Structure 1
Amino acid sequence: MMTRELDHSSDRDRLELALQIAGLGEFDWDIENDVVRVTERLSAIIGLPPGEYPGEGGEGLRRIVHPDDMAALRTDIARLLRAADVYEHRYRMIHPETGALHWMRAAGRVIRDGEGRALRILGIIEDVTAQHLEEDQRQQLMAELDHRVKNVLAAVQALAQQTAKRTTSLDAFLTNFNGRLKAMASANELLTAARWRGAAIDHLASAELGALAPGQTSWEGPELFLTPRAANALSLALHELATNAVKFGALSVETGHVDLRWRTLRDGGFELTWTETGGPPVGAPPRRGFGSTLLEQVTPRELNGAAEVEYRPAGVRVRLHAGPQAMADRPEVVPDVPAANRVTETVATAAGPASLKGARVLIVEDAVLLALELETGLSEAGAEVVGPAYELEEAMALLDQPIDAAVLDANLNGRSVTPVAEVLRQRKIPFVFATGYGETGGAPGGFDAPIIRKPYDVTQVASAVAEILASR
């Protein structure tokens, strides 16, 4: 007899502990006597003192149920008493002590007699407010992501259309469009690292100029952060200026220099000055392209300011004035200055496209269209493509084949490509990362490998692979 009592006590203690750990409060509704018993644990959750309360045929629940949810709960109770054995219901309540809105989950079982008549309901109640808040936040984030993606797609579409209208050949369109798209991607990477709270001007300058012409560019100014809209606009403007400087201006010769400086203004905005010196004599372009339109019309409007472009014989000088609306507070998370020297920014040279004749190159990329584009581009450069591999297991299986080099996406459908990279490193097979992940600290996984940021031109990838093969 004593043993049974001890076992029963032990079971009860385990149940009590389980309910306490789970944050559950239990109740007992005696339907025959129409009395609801509230335990101390349940009292701590719903705010009513522990004890017995009149059931009132279910209407007593109005003490803890939001008025707007009572009708649905009445329907559930009627169904439960009529035919069901178990139930689960979610409802809102106004906490009687704090007045705060809470979400509750109730679940239980009906105890019936031999004739099926409901005698009592035993159940538990859980405060699930935190889960509902998380779900609301998740929905808000998804809506915000959808909004941003649509904005980006619309901007890319407009960029493509405007670029196409002002180019005379497919090659020129691809070159100009890819460069502008990459400028947008650089700004987006910085904004993402700062949780879309803003991007610093010096980060934008480093991303655009850092690897362009070492020793021929410099930038200086106070730490200023721009809104996402202004950051994208300035990134595109710097890209247009840098592209023109490489083609026609100071960066087209070894003696030229580009100096970028910015300062704050009394109204809370800033002034940025781009100055080219030491290059060939320049003059106003014979026709206005999209770059000119971007600098003189689009950028000032996006920055809530103005732009002045001077084609001086000594070199181009551009002043951009931005209003205080373009400024953002310093984000809580500020990324490191982009390590531009770690990023491969390879472009076609006068010697023509890179040659990969006879090289066996493994492609690991989970985006099918992009993998096909890589396969076409590398094949046209003379490579023998291994793959493409779209999944981690596919890539690992292909490592047994003869491989001279590899192009790796950092993430394969949510899985890291690190196991593939590790095997390649052990076998001393060079590889490059072609990735959309913004890891300003260097290559993914800490590998000593060049990085090509998405979006990219396939010729960049071919040139990068040719370089790592030549350096073996």
Structure 2
Amino acid sequence: MTKSSFPASGGDHLDLLLATSEIGIWELDAATGKALRNLRHDQIFGHDQLLDHWSGDVFLTYVVEEDRKRVGALLNASLTDGEPWSFETRIRRADGVDRWISAKGVPKFSETGEVTKLIGHVIDITATKLTEDRLRLLSKELNHRVANTFTIMNSMIRHASKKANTVDQLALTLMERLAALARSNKVLVAEEAERSSLHDILKMELEAFLGWQKRISISGKLHIWFSGEASEALALIFHELLTNAVKHGALSVPSGRVNLTVEECPDRRVKINWVETGGPSLVGDRRTGIGSTILQNAMRDEGTVKLDFAAEGLKCDIVINDSFRREAPDIPEPVAPAREDQPIADDGAFSGQRIMVVEDDPIIGLDISDILKSRGAQVIGPFTNVASALKAIRDKPDAVLLDVNLGQETTDVVASQLSDLSIPFLVLSGQFDSSDLGAAFKGVTLMSKPFRERDLVAAVHRLL
């Protein structure tokens, strides 16, 4: 058999490689200081055509001032000492646009060991640098939010413990406020992670008060976008207002209503007015608890929240400063109506049902098991890895609650086998969008963590 190989020059293939990889190549003559380049090289620096002249000194004029001395020193070291030339730097192109480049060069020597020229390449790495900056920002923001969340939780426990008369009352208060934090987090980690619309914030909060939505009227522009900090603050504010209205205010009696109006001011401030009518008379001198504290301090220095405990009903005026707003396309969309909330299932509702739990977190697994067992279910598990879950499926449980990620494993294969055996299952995951899951989870019901006991029980009822 005759062997074949590319020609030693490989010219056509090298040209193809350079063209498709958008690499600029250059060759700098050490004696004259002049440089040869390809067209892509000069395009990286903002020129549509090759310039008549290029040199190391010309190149340094494009390097931003704060990097110029460092890059120049590297160039001199390469020319005088024969050191490889490798660096990343920012440049300002001929059209005034700032970009990031990565450049590498190696020296070529004469027979006497002197540097005769440098050859190398240059690549535009702006997209990579922006991604790195984005990841650093997200990491910093995540650390900040986690620290703040734990601090908020500590405050909630401390304040709620002062007002609760029973352990059950304390637990209920804490679960409600933690759920509010979780809902605000859902808004913040949606597609627009750095901003959320007033529409989305209200929709998320109202979903937790389904039985009262028909008595809440909303008017004004809702597709106003706010920063992550403002979105979190507004989510907590609306939760406290809704909770107070249901427990003590207008929504605590059948005749009560809440009117919420939104006004966009000429100076770009946003005014939100919450007015309760038809409820029980309020006492003007109210003790300040954590709810009032959250309301009055949530906007920090970027807005104000004023409470008026008028006899005819609570009034709350919220003002959000322009600094908390973010730009986004304004797409009109009304708040979607929600179904009436379902009553929580009685004890014994799952009597005789064999329900399998697949969850790697021991605390969450224990909590789910307790919820199911308290209603008469026979709980199988919890299983914390795929192998044990697959083995347990052979006994064909009546339903399965399935986490997506088990440590380093995913449960796609478990989901596929459940579908093949026609065993109904509910997916419990920290992910908020089922489209992010694998094909094995297509069409299944997704319940995002954390979840309310009421919602979990209702979802299991629908499975069975």
When normalised by structure 1's length, the TM-score is 0.72
Distance 1:216 1:52 in 2: 72
1:24 alignment partner in structure 2: 23
* Residue 198 (structure 1) aligns with: 196
**Structure 2 residue aligned with 1:213:** 211
Distance 1:106 1:248, change over 3 A: closer
In 2, distance between residues paired with 1:322 and 1:174? 29
CA distance in 1, matches of 2:129, 2:52: 26
User: Who is 2:149 aligned against?
Assistant: 152
What is the aligned-residue RMSD (CA, Å)? 4.6
Using a 3 Å threshold, how does the CA distance of structure 1 residues 123 and 183 change in structure 2: closer, same or farther?
Answer: same
Equivalent residues in 2 for 1:292-303 (5 A)?
Answer: 293-294=292-293, 297-298=296-297
- Deviation of the 1:466 alpha carbon: 5.2
Which shifted more, 98-107 or 411-420? 411-420
| Letter paired with 2:306 | A
The residue matched to 1:213 in structure 2 has which SS? helix
Distance 1:211 1:370, change over 3 A: same
Shift of 1:276: 4.6
CA change 1:276–1:151 in 2 (3 A) is: farther
Q: 438, 450, 453: which is aligned to 1:455?
A: 450
Change (3 A) 1:168 1:443: farther
State the secondary structure of the residue aligned to 1:49: coil
1:370 is paired with a residue whose SS is: helix
Number of residue pairs matched by the alignment: 442
Instruction: Tell whether the 8 Å contact from 2:283 to 2:309 is kept in structure 1 after alignment.
Output: no
Change (3 A) 1:336 1:109: same
AA aligned to 2:69 is P
Determine the C-alpha separation between the residues in 1 that align with 2:134 and 2:213.
47
> CA separation of 1:27/1:162 partners in 2, compared to 1, >3 Å: closer, same or farther?
same
Contact 2:348 / 2:374 at 8 angstroms: preserved in 1? no
Cα shift at 1:15: 1.0
2:146 aligned partner, one-letter code:
V
Residue aligned with 2:181, SS: helix
In the alignment, the residues of structure 2 paired with residue 423 and residue 335 of structure 1 have an alpha-carbon distance, to the nearest angstrom, of: 43
Report the counterpart of residue 136 of structure 1 in structure 2. 133
1:350-389 alignment to 2 at 5 Å? Answer: 351=346, 356-367=350-361, 369-379=363-373, 382-389=376-383
Q: Kindly indicate whether residue 176 of structure 2 is the aligned counterpart of residue 179 of structure 1.
A: yes
Aligned to 2:36: 38
With over 3 angstroms needed to count, the CA separation of the structure-2 counterparts of 1:103 and 1:191, relative to structure 1, is closer
Quote the residue 1:308 is aligned against.
308
Q: Give 1:177 shift.
A: 1.0
For 1:165, give the aligned amino acid. Answer: K
Q: Distance in 1 between matches of 2:348 and 2:140?
A: 43
Q: Structure 1: which amino acid aligns with 2:321?
A: Q
Q: CA shift at 1:198, angstroms?
A: 3.5
CA distance in 1, matches of 2:196, 2:79: 52
Question: Which of 160, 165, 172 does residue 163 from structure 1 map onto?
Answer: 160
1:438 aligns with 2:440: no
User: Would the alpha carbon gap of residues 405 and 94 (structure 1) be closer, same or farther in structure 2, given more than 3 Å must change?
Assistant: closer
Following TM superposition, by how much is the alpha carbon of 1:179 offset from its aligned partner in structure 2, in angstroms? 0.5
> What letter matches 1:24 in structure 2?
I
Q: Deviations over 1:190-221 (max 9, x none)?
A: 34434343332585166335653167533221
Question: Which amino acid letter does the alignment assign opposite residue 211 of structure 2?
Answer: A
- Contact kept, 8 Å, 2:199 with 2:335, in 1: the verdict is no
Structure 2 CA distance for partners of 1:440 and 1:247, relative to 1, 3 Å: farther
Q: Which amino acid aligns with 1:325?
A: N
Q: Distance in 2 between matches of 1:189 and 1:338?
A: 17
Q: How far did 1:19 drift?
A: 1.3
Given residue 105 of structure 1, which amino acid in structure 2 is its aligned partner? S
Q: 1:211, 1:340 within 8 Å by CA — same for their partners in 2?
A: no
Cα separation, 2, equivalents of 1:64 and 1:286: 67
Quote the sequence identity (%): 24
Q: Which residue of 2 aligns with 1:318?
A: 314
CA distance 1:383–1:262, shift in 2 (3 Å): same
For residues 390-409 of structure 1, the aligned pairs below 5 Å read 390=384, 395-396=389-390, 398-409=392-403
Aligned counterpart, 1:222: 220
Structure 1 unaligned blocks of 5 or more: 82-86
Matched with 2:259 is 260
SS in structure 2 at match of 1:130: helix
Residue 84 of structure 1 aligns with which residue?
A: none
Distance 1:72 1:157, change over 3 A: farther
**Runs of 5+ consecutive residues of structure 2 not aligned to the other structure:** none
- Give me the whole-angstrom Cα distance separating, in 2, the residues matched to 1:133 and 1:330: 20
Matched to 2:275, the amino acid is: T
Q: Secondary structure at the match of 1:447?
A: coil
Structure with the larger RCO, 1 or 2 (CA within 8 Å, 6+ apart)? 1
